């Protein structure tokens, strides 16, 4: 036999907690509006991609990413499905297609 629960009390308690959260949110919003401040700022964008002098390759069948020297393909072991992720200038040494 399970213990009896007071569902009405739980419902009222949850409603009170929700009202308190909403009131705190309204208070913070009012304070920001009065002080002229805005929400938290997002930091500087991080550099994405491979560093200079390195190419990044992805293999869908292996599900992993590998870094290599510029102009060098990863090992051609089967399956040889490496995709170059690094942006390469058209006049640079682009990898040969398999």
pLDDT tens-place string over residues 1-60: 556 666 778 888 999 999 999 999 999 889 888 887 766 667 777 777 667 788 888 889
Highest mean pLDDT among 34-43, 63-72, 88-97: 63-72
Query: In this structure, are 31 and 58 located in the same domain?
Result: no
Q: Has residue 97 been placed in a domain?
A: no
Helical (H) or strand (E) element with 2: none
Q: Of 77, 78, 54, whose CA–CA distance to 66 is shortest?
A: 54
Domain that holds residue 78: 54-84
In 3D, which of 67, 69, 66, 65 has the Cα closest to residue 93?
A: 69
Q: Are 50 and 67 in contact (CB under 8 A)?
A: yes
- pLDDT score, position 20: 97
Same domain, 1 and 30: yes
Residue 63 domain-assigned (yes or no): yes
Residue 23 belongs to some domain of the structure? yes
- Identify the residue whose tokens are 């994405």: 48
pLDDT tops 60 at residue 94 = no
What pLDDT, on a 0 to 100 scale, did the predictor assign at position 63? 87
């Amino acid at each position: 036999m399970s213990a009896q629960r007071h569902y009405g009390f739980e419902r009222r308690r949850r409603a009170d907690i929700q009202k308190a959260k909403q009131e705190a949110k309204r208070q913070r919003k009012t304070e920001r509006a009065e002080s002229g401040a805005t929400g938290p700022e997002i930091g500087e964008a991080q550099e994405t991609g491979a560093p200079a002098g390195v190419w990044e390759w992805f293999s869908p069948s292996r599900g992993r990413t590998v870094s290599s020297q510029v102009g060098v393909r990863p090992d051609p072991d089967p399956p040889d499905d490496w995709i170059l992720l690094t942006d390469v200038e058209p006049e640079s040494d682009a990898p040969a297609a398999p």
